Amino acid sequence: AVQAIFPRITMLDDQGCSARPGAYDDEKKVIEPPLKPGFYGGNATLRSQIEAFLIAYFNVYDAEDPIKSRKTLQEVYAENTSQFTMCLENLHEEGSGKTRWPNDNFSFHIRLSHNIKQIDKWSKNRQNRLFHGAMDVVSQLCKMPATRHLPDSFLIDVILATPSLLIFSVQGLLEEAPFALSPQSPQLNFFSRTFTVTPKSNGSFCVISDELFLSAMNEQRVQRYRLQLSKTNAAAAVAALQTATASVALADVNDEAATIARFCVDSGMVPAWAEMCLKEANWNYQVAGHIFLTAKQEGRIPSEAFPQ
């Protein structure tokens, strides 16, 4: 009965047993998880608040003089109850082993890393890797390398949302100093940051927990990330068009002019091209949306299809 759920078990009640026949048949199968756009719980107001916070935060964090600029983040963190931790884990790349951090910042990060996989190395001095209170947190942030985060690589997810507590994560790509001489060839790495915040009366947030995860990336991994991101963005666009389709159906909009106008808004195309796309889809709004997204990704839509 147990092996029906865990077919690869080879020890039950301290007794050795054989894995269930066929347990490893799917070992080489790679199942790509479904693509999901950033999740905000369908709350447009919450989305705008989170995005405004992150834009403002990283503009300060990535400023030209990071030490001076990051000091101003003290007002963002709870004076006595905030906490900051970070974790570094360089992942294995198939065929080339573990990816290495591209510069000397690795030695700085590893001394702070709160990675549970290496708990035997830091358990005795754990307090040296935890930072409490706004002053302590910001003091540590000021010591960290200068960075450039790439907003176009961000993917944001809301984990928990209540009137008094909000948890959300942002992941993406960043470059650390020393920066590449050419902005066209930066050395990018992966980051994920999870913020636990409480709302302020002015509509902003007070951070009570800030968890940073870093991982080195080689060029192949960066390309895969960008590919996944483009698919995710396409999935988000499809979802938006599907929502628009539902809205059109609920409103019982049968007038072609109104449908064209709506498709212009959702696709960004001029009316003539929006009408062509809708006609090709036999006025099926959802099909038209898929046709538009596919053509756009393949670069088959000319510039005149959009307002100049």
Last residue of a domain, one of 217, 243, 270: 217
- 7 assigned to some structural domain: no
Q: Are 73 and 94 within one domain?
A: yes
Kindly state whether residue 235 falls inside one of the protein's structural domains.
yes
Task: Give me the percent of the chain exceeding a pLDDT of 90.
Answer: 33
Q: What is the distance between the alpha carbons of residues 307 and 157, in angstroms, rounded to a whole number? A: 32
As a whole number of angstroms, the distance between CA 247 and CA 241 comes to: 10
Q: pLDDT digits over 155-190, tens only?
A: 999 999 999 999 999 999 999 988 865 566 678 899
Which pLDDT does position 248 carry in this prediction?
A: 47
Percent above pLDDT 70 for the chain: 83
In terms of domains, do 170 and 266 share one? no
Last residue of a domain, one of 217, 240, 272: 217
Q: Clarify whether residues 183 and 262 are in a common domain.
A: no
CATH code at position 73: 3.10.450.50
pLDDT of res. 239? 55
Q: What pLDDT does 190 receive?
A: 94
Helix (H), strand (E) at residue 188: strand 188-199
Find the Cα–Cα–Cα–Cα dihedral 28, 34, 35, 39, rounded to 10°.
Answer: -130
242 and 152 housed in the same domain = no
302 is written with which tokens? 């000319």
Identify residue 106 by its one-letter amino acid code.
Answer: F
Range(s) of the domain holding residue 263:
227-305
pLDDT tens by residue, 13-69 = 888 888 888 776 666 666 666 667 788 888 888 988 999 999 999 999 999 999 999
Are 161 and 196 a contacting pair, CB within 8 Å?
no
Is residue 169 within 8 A of residue 194, CB to CB? The reply is yes
- How far apart are alpha carbons 247 and 94 in whole angstroms? 46
How many domains does the chain divide into? 2
How much is the pLDDT for 100? 76
Average pLDDT over residues 95-122: 79
Q: Are residues 246 and 206 in the same domain?
A: no
Band (pLDDT 50/70/90 cuts) for residue 249 is very low
In this structure, are 118 and 251 located in the same domain? Answer: no
pLDDT at 76: 95
Q: Give the helix/strand (H/E) hosting 97.
A: strand 97-98
